Amino acid sequence: MRRRQFIASILGAPLAWPLGANAQQSTLPPVGFALSASPQTLRQEIAAFEDGMKETGYVGGQNVTTEYRFAEGQFDRFPQFVSEFVHRGVSVIVVAGNVGVYAAKKATSTIPIVFSIGDDPLRLGMVPSLNRPGGNMTGVYHLSPGLEEKRLGLLHELVPKASTLSVLLHPKFAPYETQLRSVQESAARLGVKLIVVRANTESEFESAFLSAVQQEAEGILVAASPFFNSKRQQLVGLAARHGLPAIYEWRQFAEAGGLMSYGTRLAEAYRQAGVYAGRILKGDKPADLPVVQVTKFEFVINLRTAKALGIEVPPLLSARADEVIE
């Protein structure tokens, strides 16, 4: 299947579908992939996963079939998704996000699991060692929640005269407490007042932004969270509507109109997950595949959004960006 055709198929697909479906696929080794967002949101990441599979010799519709499940930000769907994969007898389960990994870990100790998460898998108790994960689980660790201090610093560089900044946090996200301490300590070092606002549901977004504005915040950090990532368009729109300079975790936020983003390359994490899924299909054991830590970071600035907000990006900050969206 051509790449363009594949991506187009995602946009018109239901929540659960096989890749490159045809009569032959029933005899191919199935891979089950459960994701936290929507197919529209994750087009680049899914294409990267397919590229990783191809690197190991597996091409959808030719010698492998992949069944996708999209939670659309409703993480309570993961246990059902994983249960379906186990019932189907898939060869590999691939999951993105903490909730998905916990659901997979609880559901099976025999089917190989490949994860893609931002939180530390050692701290979460998913594996006993990054180099020798043991058991039936391995994957990719892309460090995103640990970068809040850096993001707040970049936001402060953009609006250096700001005396008050805000942060939007997702309390149900496992690293929440760590994120909160990190941004509080960072704000203290920067000498700015920090307004903490929280949201666990999409219906709470508006009140969170309104609270930040009412408390005279001059910028907002949207902290790392799979839930926030699944609702990136809504969050970018709210920041624009309230005139708040904002920084986010993934480049996809900046591509969607967000002002700035700083984080690891999410597509690279998905590509590596595809490589590991392919290697397991070839016979490698998860216990012997070290957890990969993504160490490529990228800083993106959207100058169109900066102009719309009436913000002049400092030249030194712009020069440090890996990409500037004109």
Report whether 258 contacts 143 (CB < 8 A): no
Q: Is 185 exposed, middle or buried (0-12, 13-18, 19+ CB in 10 A)?
A: middle
Q: Where are the beta strands (DSSP E) in 1-151?
A: 16-18, 30-35, 65-70, 92-96, 113-117, 137-141
Order of strands across the sheet that contains 246-248: 193-198, 164-169, 220-222, 246-248, 260-264, 297-302, 323-325
**Average pLDDT rounded to a whole number, residues 125-146:** 90
Report the alpha-carbon distance of residue 265 to residue 48 in Å, rounded: 11
- CATH class of the region 145-264+298-325: alpha beta
**Distance, CA of 292 to CA of 277 (rounded, Å):** 13
Average pLDDT over residues 301-326: 95
Q: 28 falls in which pLDDT band (50, 70, 90)?
A: low
Cα(100)–Cα(105) distance, integer angstroms: 9
The DSSP 8-state label assigned to residue 202 in this structure reads G
Please report which residue ranges of 71-121 form alpha helices under DSSP H: 78-88, 98-107
The 10s digit of each residue's pLDDT in 139-166 is 999 887 789 999 999 999 999 999 999 9
Could you check whether 3-142+265-295 and 145-264+298-325 share the same CATH topology? yes
The SS3 call for residue 198 is: strand
Q: Higher model confidence: residue 4 or residue 195?
A: 195
Residue 240: both structure tokens together: 């624009």
Structural domain spans, the chain? 3-142+265-295, 145-264+298-325
Q: Which fold has domain 3-142+265-295?
A: Rossmann fold (3.40.50)
CA distance 16 to 246: 34
Kindly state the percentage of the chain with pLDDT values over 70.
91
Average pLDDT over residues 226-231: 90
Per-residue pLDDT, averaged over 32-36, amounts to: 93
pLDDT tens for residues 92-112?
999 998 889 999 999 999 999
What's the whole-number mean pLDDT along residues 50-71? 94
Chain mean position to CA 1: 26
Q: Which amino acid is at 133?
A: P
Higher pLDDT, 189 or 27: 189
pTM of the model: 0.82
The pLDDT, as a whole number, for residue 295 is 82
| pLDDT number for residue 27 | 59
pLDDT for 14: 36
